[in-house]
Structure formats: structure tokens, C-alpha cells
Amino acid sequence: MMPPVVSWSWFDAHPGSVLADVRWYLDGRSGRDAYHSGHVRGAVFVDLERWLSGPTSPESGRHPLPEPQVFAQGMAELGIGDADRVLAYDDAGGVIAARLVWMLRVTGHQAALLDGGLATYPGELEQKPTLRPPAGFTAREWPAERLADIDDASDPAHVVLDARNADRFRGEQDPVDPRPGHIPGAANVPCRANLDETNRFLPVDELRRRFVRAGVTEDASIISYCGSGVTACHNLLSLELAGFGPGRLYPGSWSQYSHAIQRPVALGD
């Protein structure tokens, strides 16, 4: 398996990779419109709502994993095949594109984030959409050992990491979910703080210190969540980059947990 994060120079040195633009915005802006206004030459646009998420409900959360057949259909229609190596980016240091990379990697495909994303791309952007011929992409079940449910995330036996910004973790505000706060016992590791001021990943030793402070050890059982299971993937890839073992994604995340009114909520740090 290739590393979870690579540079643009790595992309230049390894021709044949498929580029994927995975922009999406919590505030309602259109990632597709952003793609059409300017994207990396040769990149296809991957629609998070259509191909990387399933139907929304209070019981499942805002971005549950799609059925494997839906994911496979999306990849095939975009021209991504079983044997392709996919390099994904966005304009937020990979916090959104991480969802595609994680989904591909856990199903056995070669995929990585492009370090820095659009902020560090050295070339000229283009506006013409990229169209690749349809490819063969096999539907594979999501591996159970890489997933966690609401009971797992509530179990103090696990190290549970919350990837949201600190103000949402503390419960100071929540623009999209019914209850502010966090899962009791969770530690706040904001995914955007995995990055430096240029949107590149922090050095490995700094990443390791961040996770160790949150209670991560070499043999810990780690569960990652966020608002809806998207940016939590950035922490999972960061853990791997820092040399820790694979954690588990809680896909329902806070958008599911906060609707479960029988579950306790913690506020503050």
C-alpha cells in the first residue's frame, strides 16, 4: 500500500495516477461550481453527496457510507478502475478529500492525499471538465474491522477522537446538529490542526505528539468521528502517516449521536 499522503513532486514522478477533485463545503457552496471555476489539469470531480455518501436520516447521520454498489458505480462512471492509483485533493488541506482516499484504501485500492492540495499546486488551473472513459470497478463490502458504531464510540475502552474544531467540540456552537457538545470521554484532535499554515501536513513527529497527547498509544483501539464522518477520515490518514496502526471510522459521527437523545452529551474541554 502506498503512503497515505504524497507531494505534487511525487505525482510528477509517478505518471499514470488519476487525479480526483473532492471539494465540498459545509456552508452550502457548490464543490462542483468550484471545480468548474478552476481545477488541476486532468482531475475528475468526485461528488461527495452522490458517490461518497448514502441517504441521510437522523438514524444514520448526514453522510453515512454509501452502499458498495453505489460507490463502485460512481468510480466506474468517473473512469476510475480497480487497478488505478488515485491521488485526491481539495482546497482545505485534504480534510474533505480524505473521505475518498480512506474509502479507497480500506477496500484495497491505491490512493493518497496530495499534500497541500490546491494551495500548493505548482501548475495552471483549467476550467474544462475532465472526462475519462468508463472503467471497471468492483463493489467491495466495507470492512467491518475498520468501522465503529454508536455503541463502540460510547465505550471508554476505546480512544475516541473528535476531529471537529474546538468550539464545536466544547459545545459553544453547532450550526448543523440538534445538540452541541461531544461524546463523553472523547478527545478533541481538530483535523485542520494536522496542517501547517500552507495546508501541508505537519512533520511526523509533531503529528505523533498531537495524537499521544490525546491518549493514542501503539496498541490502542482508536475510533475517529467528526460532524458526519467526512473529516474524521483526515485524522485516520494522519494517524497512519504518523506511524500508528489503522483506526476505525464512526460513520454516523455527531450527526447521528446528537439525534440519539437518550445518549449523554459532554460540554467543555
Q: What is the pLDDT of residues 123-176, one digit of tens each?
A: 999 999 999 999 999 999 999 999 999 999 999 999 999 999 999 999 999 999
Helix (H, G, I), strand (E, B) or coil at 87: strand
For the chain, list the domains and their CATH numbers.
Answer: 5-141 (3.40.250.10), 145-257 (3.40.250.10)
- CA angle in degrees (0–180, nearest 5) for 50-51-56: 55
Q: Which of 112, 226, 233, 241 is catalytic?
A: 226
Residue 191 catalytic? no
Long-range contacts at 202-207 (CB < 8 A, ≥ 24 apart): 204/241, 204/242, 204/243, 207/238, 207/241, 207/242
Q: Residue 92 carries which side chain, given as an amino acid letter?
A: A
Average pLDDT, the chain: 97
* Continuous H helices in 38-90: 48-51, 68-78
pLDDT tens for the chain, 269 residues long, are: 899 999 999 999 999 999 999 999 999 999 999 999 999 999 999 999 999 999 999 999 999 999 999 999 999 999 999 999 999 999 999 999 999 999 999 999 999 999 999 999 999 999 999 999 999 999 999 999 999 999 999 999 999 999 999 999 999 999 999 999 999 999 999 999 999 999 999 999 999 999 999 999 999 999 999 999 999 999 999 999 999 999 999 999 999 999 999 999 999 99
Instruction: Give the three-class secondary structure for 44.
Output: strand
